[in-house]
Amino acid sequence: MAVPPDEGTPQPRRTRNPNYRSSIYQTKDGYWHGRVTIGTRDDGQPDRRHVGGKTRSEVAEKVRTLERERDRGTVRKAGQRWTVGRWLTYWVENIAAPPHVAENTHLGYRVDVNKHLIPGLGAHRLERLTPDHVERLYAKLRGDGLNPGGVHHVHRTLRAALNEAVRRSHLTRNPVLLAKAPKLEADEVEPYDVPEIQRLLEAAAKRRNGARWALALALGLRQGEALGLTWDDVDLDKGTIRIRRSRLRPKYAHGCGGACGMTPGLCPQRVNIRAATGRVKSKAGRRMIGLPPQLVALLRTHRAEQEKERASAREIWPGEGWVFATPDGQPLNPNTDYYEWKRLLKDAGLREARLHDARHTAATVLLVLRQPTPTVMSLMGWSSESMAVRYQHVTDAMRSQVASQVGDLIWNLSAGPEDRAAVTVPGDSLAAVLAVAEKCVASHRGRARPSTEVLAALAELRAALPDAARSETANETKTETRRPTEG
């Protein structure tokens, strides 16, 4: 039993923890506090983090957790405490914005952030967002009537925004990666076969800007890439085109100040406030493509017809040099181009298909031609080999060919050697080749014994020769083997 100190004996003073050591203490209100040094702030002062709790053991556990995160380098960055709404706003206005992303991509991000994500999750503290919150948002969006593709687009936007928050240490992990992603049923794409492509091209040849559809079906250009072409990008002498820009969808503003009471797109005095073209989708999208001679001839004819229209339009025609233009020289509107595709399918008497399916068709043609994957990636403007799985499809003709090959392999083998396909070779040719082969075997007999398969093959070839040729070849071989070696 410890002996109590005598009265008047000085008590040992409580020593202070060394600098940067974690500490736990209790305040007069009975609440426990912990302080953990994480590192150094931008101004050079120690970055001390605070945790609190009602008991010492609770705070001690929080301190140990924070120390483990510090040692792993996963502690949230000190400074501003973000809400989900404030972070998404900052991200879409400053990080995921042109010129860092394409104009159309940024427009999709803004719609997702302002229409779905901020109203649904914006009030949460960023570090307290959980996978449960995210999954409930997805369920609510589906219940409100948003299609699965739209919900999946929201999912991808939120994932990208929070990945950036993790990279900047505002989050230790991305809760979207733990959430169950919305199920997206992939559309079954049935590309057009060669006879259908030919019917499409015949129908397109009778229409204005018919070469536009030849480019789509033969080269697989995206809609924006085809509509964004200018004649400066086309070299008909060398037979090449360069893909550099992509046509953007117009964005309108009121020209009447809103007095018409309609949406900007329907305003009689509407004004387009967006550039005609923007950057292509990715770095791989900027590419040079060779033109088939038939397509060069189509483009020459198309240019001659366009020159006639330009002469008729006179000063109304601008000097921007669009390859595919309206009758007054303006760039084609993507929406107008879409409905022209639908009319083309109807005129050709073909099944309904998306405009983008023309790109799938071109990719499948390259598959039929057995082009190597790097070549296909270069022509199609892909940055990943995985895109070939999405765009290249097995057609009915390819299925039939494979089925025929499988049948020939299995049933011809099982039918026996006499039913296999025979190869017809002139007797003189076979005799000459057989004589050379037997000479080679005889000359190497002393060095290495020929395999049983080789000898059996030679015997089978000799048996196939006519009797006269067989004896003549045997005599030549016998004489050659007996010829003395020259000194």
pLDDT single digits (tens) 133-172: 999 999 999 999 999 989 999 999 999 999 999 998 888 8
pLDDT over threshold 60, residue 277: yes
Domain range for residue 474? 427-482
Task: Please list, in sequence order, all residues whose beta carbon lies within 8 angstroms of the beta carbon of residue 467, skipping any fewer than 6 positions away.
Answer: none
Question: Residue 325 CB: number of other CB atoms within 10 A?
Answer: 21
The reply to whether 207 and 329 lie within a common domain is yes
Query: Tokens 């969006």 map to which residue?
Result: 141
Residue 84's nearest CA partner among 132, 121, 112, 134 is 121
**AA letter at 437:** A
| Average pLDDT of the residues in 177-189 | 82
405 is a domain residue: no
Q: Check whether residue 284 and residue 349 sit in a common domain.
A: yes
Confidence of residue 3 (pLDDT cuts 50, 70, 90): very low
- 340-390 confidence digits (pLDDT tens): 999 999 999 999 988 888 888 888 888 777 778 888 888 888 777 777 777
pLDDT higher than 90, residue 89 = yes
User: Could you tell me if 436 and 469 lie in one domain?
Assistant: yes
pLDDT of residue 347: 93
Per-residue tokens: 94: 């400053």
> Does one domain contain both 356 and 296?
yes
Give the total number of structural domains in the chain: 4
Kindly state whether residues 151 and 108 are assigned to the same domain.
yes
CATH number at residue 132: 1.10.150.130
pTM, entire model:
0.63
Asked if residue 134 and residue 40 are part of one domain, the reply reads no
- Report residue 257's pLDDT band, with 50, 70 and 90 as the boundaries: confident
Residue 416 belongs to some domain of the structure: no
Within-domain flag for 472: yes
Q: What percent of the chain has pLDDT over 70?
A: 80
Q: Looking at the domain assignment, is residue 287 inside a domain?
A: yes
Claim to verify: residue 331 and residue 460 sit in the same structural domain: no
- Phi, psi for residue 33 in degrees, rounded to 5: -130, 150
Pair 150, 299 in one domain: no
Please indicate, yes or no, whether residues 319 and 230 belong to a single structural domain of this protein.
yes
CATH number of the CATH domain containing 311 = 1.10.443.10
The Cα-based distances of 427 to 111, 420, 440, 465 in angstroms read 77, 20, 20, 6
Q: What pLDDT shows up at residue 259?
A: 85
Q: Verify that 203 and 162 share a domain, yes or no.
A: no
Contact present, 59 and 34 (Cβ < 8 Å): yes
| 96 in the same domain as 34 | no
Last residue of a domain, one of 375, 391, 407: 391
Residue for token pair 């305040």 = 27
